[in-house]
Chains A and B, each alone.
Chain A
């Protein structure tokens, strides 16, 4: 029997999709590449995931997990014929424990739905990627997603207490849990950020965060992006950790204003958006400190949001930034590198220089507080040669960031997009160690093969040493 027939035997025929057009539609996520999907299934329970994994393994077919498909690194795009396991139907909120501030949720639950569900309890789920209105908790776990508010609260890894995982043998294992210090090796950290390469996440125990008693949002405008970057460094150095600290350059601000009129100053070279959260008195004091630091660095203006509506408008503008770029050109390449905060100014200059040399436009919007850059390059892939120029510029930008002491990806993951750049940050020994760890979970290469680690990571791939890197 064929793989599809075997899957249909327990899922029912209507729940196994193999039509060419359907496979085509599932061949791409939020990134730029497409790949060959063989069969698509939407399991509803962990037991179904177990059966799917066993069946796929019997047929020697790889398993690629997918959430909402907003990933930007082509992580949910198979590289060879694979079973695509789409988890959007496993979107239950199984249990909310108000006292211990935790919740067990399905991997397909939409990030924002969780926060909306617990809002009446005065709680929220802290990691807030800009895609939070649609991306899934499972996808967030797999990519260790971050967001504007991860500066003070940490990325997804800091909010995941337990993970139920379906392994390569079709076993259901529980990693971590409600206990503050689970016994044995803490393997949660291996799964968070593993991009679907160690198993399928079928349930997650997340930490819920209490809403701050007070928040203030501050908008700072600068005549020079270097002044904005200096303000970021000085703020953190002064011991103020804003809940969020975001930077946008003039081009970006212009595009956002075109789209929703958020109220950002369009004449400034750089704009910082800061949110301060905590006890009312502390928040007021920090807002004043931040304004003073900004003014000392030559800020043109510093303005507090008048009310919650104005603050919400500013944040909506910030979160829609990526999409607004498309007003400029049909495609865009979004970077996600991280540099030490002290090198922000240098790197911004380098990014502009690289883009200019490749005859590309570049605009910046990023999590300034943690040095996570998102330079965006809009382009039209239909123009011959453009894609190559974009790729070349991208590689240079990543290399420059790594040379400045930074790394490849802050939050969007490695997937296919940045896989072959891994050797910029990791030595052959590092890569080999990672490959071994992955092998310990998945010795047969069933889960999302060819992702994250470049070919040859394992020093003894195919029984012979990999060429020196």
Chain B
């Protein structure tokens, strides 16, 4: 077997040449910090990609292992003074893996993460119903490891899933604009409380809120897994569904980060990325403008967990803190490096040991503080934290904390 790429999504020569091998991206990389191995570092992964690009290495088992061990947390991207777009290059490498190392499981996974899985409302509703029944049967207690853990991290689910789709709400204050909310795939039925809070707070801040019909799963998980066709199809559907809106709001950090990067999956003209905002950006701005009230400080600490796709991919750091503060709480820092909690989309299912080790570390950072509430703006992180922290801790989206405080 010889090296080389076979797809148009492959890492580009420019992306790879930008790396000058300085190593400044290593400290924040969770897999490097767990192993101390260059092959598990961002610099090592880029070097392996270059080897394939140069035809000295093949997309073989070793290459696959190096790439799939990566959590796609993008901490390396923030640390890089040479501005290497690591997240994009890794998405490209995953597409290559799907093309050059196809397997029945990978194909099945691609379908699950694509149009007929996460992109299908009936499919998601069915899974939700099964999970809800499982919860009622106290399945987390007796189900084997992974599945039990995942179920244990979920919020209590209703058997009949709610949906915000196609709804419209009028503003409750002087109107400043219309916000189109991304309903998401599992966000809608599994994290309905976050949508409810986002809608309530947006209305108070003067937005008319619409949840456009015709939208679907954002496609982030498909893109991260190299299922390029599925990712492209989902992105194209959403670009159409949201075409007429100037402000598109996501209240799941992973979805927002991916939406902002649609240009590489469903190109369609300039300006799209500027129209997409994470809910924390919109709410923090409204607080700063005085469009939303600020509560007096109560001194109750809230541990701030920075989802990778909020802090590293979207570079959003201050807004969730400002929101938690305005809700009357005292934000508590837990990790200056903001290292990944190990949830990382489907990673927790594919590489449970690494995921659990990182989840344990993150939980320990929380328990080292006096906080009993954790703010996290991403559903995957929320589940991971809940299952690793166990009872006695509350994990909520910062906007939920804020919505309760101003009720």
Contact = CB atoms under 8 A, between A and B. Distances in A.
Interface of A: 17, 19-22, 24-26, 28-31, 42, 68-70, 86, 88-89, 91, 108, 110, 112, 131, 133-135, 259, 320, 322-324, 326-327, 330-332, 382
B62 A21 contact: yes
A25 B20 contact: no
B10 interface: no
A149 B21 CA distance: 25
Given A24-B51, A108-B36, A259-B81, A30 B63 contact: no
B167 interface: no
Contacts, number: 91
B47 A86 contact: no
Interface in B277-301: none
Given A323-B82, A326-B81, A21 B60 contact: yes
A327 B57 contact: no
Contacts of B215: none
Given A25-B47, A326-B20, 20 more contacts: A17-B39, A21-B66, A24-B56, A25-B38, A25-B44, A25-B48, A29-B21, A42-B36, A69-B38, A70-B23, A86-B38, A108-B36, A131-B23, A320-B24, A326-B18, A326-B81, A327-B83, A330-B17, A331-B20, A382-B17
Interface of B: 17-18, 20-24, 26-27, 36-39, 44, 47-48, 51, 56-57, 60, 62-63, 66, 80-83
- Residue among B18, B36, B39, B57 having the largest count of chain A Cβ atoms under 10 Å: B36
A22 B23 contact: no
Contacts of B36: 42, 86, 88-89, 91, 108
Contacts of B57: 20-21, 24
A173 B27 CA distance: 31
Given A26-B38, A28-B47, A91-B36, A323 B17 contact: no
Contact of A68 (B26, B39, B62, B83): B26
12 contacts: A24-B47, A24-B56, A25-B39, A28-B21, A30-B21, A68-B23, A86-B36, A88-B37, A110-B27, A323-B20, A323-B24, A326-B20
Contact of A70 (B22, B44, B66, B82): B22
B27 A22 contact: no
Contacts of B47: 24-25, 28
B37 A330 contact: no
A332 B19 CA distance: 11
Contact of A133 (B24, B48, B80): B24
Contacts of A22: 39, 62
B237 to A, nearest CB: 37
A324 B20 CA distance: 10
B22 A323 contact: yes
B365 to A, nearest CB: 14
A131 B24 contact: yes
Nearest to A19: B62
Nearest to B54: A24
A322 B81 contact: yes
- Residue among A28, A68, A89, A110 having the largest count of chain B Cβ atoms under 10 Å: A68
A131 B27 CA distance: 10
Contacts of B81: 259, 320, 322-324, 326
A379 B17 CA distance: 12
A326 B23 CA distance: 13
Contacts of A110: 27
Nearest to A136: B36
A178 B24 CA distance: 33
Contacts of A25: 38-39, 44, 47-48, 51, 66
Contacts of B20: 323, 326, 330-332
B22 to A, nearest CB: 5
Pairs of residues from A and B, 10 with the lowest C-beta to C-beta distance, nearest first: A323-B81, A88-B36, A326-B82, A70-B23, A330-B17, A25-B44, A21-B62, A320-B81, A133-B27, A326-B20
Contact of B80 (A91, A323, A382): A323
- Residue among A21, A68, A86 having the largest count of chain B Cβ atoms under 10 Å: A21
Nearest to A88: B36
A110 B48 CA distance: 24
A326 B81 CA distance: 8
A25 to B, nearest CB: 4
A433 B24 CA distance: 37
- Residue among A26, A133, A326 having the largest count of chain B Cβ atoms under 10 Å: A326
Contacts of B48: 21, 24-25
B300 to A, nearest CB: 25
Contacts of A330: 17-18, 20
B325 to A, nearest CB: 18
B354 to A, nearest CB: 15
Nearest to A24: B51
A88 B60 CA distance: 26
B24 A21 contact: no
A17 B48 CA distance: 15
A28 B38 CA distance: 10
B323 to A, nearest CB: 22
A134 B37 contact: no
A40 B326 CA distance: 52
A330 B22 CA distance: 12
Contacts of A323: 20, 22, 24, 80-82
A379 to B, nearest CB: 11
A134 B26 contact: yes
- Residue among A29, A30, A89 having the largest count of chain B Cβ atoms under 10 Å: A30
Nearest to A321: B81
Nearest to A70: B23
- Residue among A112, A133, A323 having the largest count of chain B Cβ atoms under 10 Å: A323
A66 B24 CA distance: 16
- Residue among A24, A29, A42, A70 having the largest count of chain B Cβ atoms under 10 Å: A24
Contacts of B18: 326, 330
Nearest to B337: A133
B336 to A, nearest CB: 9
A208 B296 CA distance: 43
B51 A134 contact: no
Contact of B51 (A21, A69, A322, A324): A21
A30 B20 CA distance: 8
Contacts of B44: 25-26
B66 A134 contact: no
Given A26-B38, A86-B37, A322 B66 contact: no
Contacts of B62: 19-22
Contacts of A326: 18, 20, 81-83
A69 B22 contact: no
A22 B66 CA distance: 9
Contacts of B22: 30, 70, 131, 322-323
A362 to B, nearest CB: 17
A293 B51 CA distance: 53
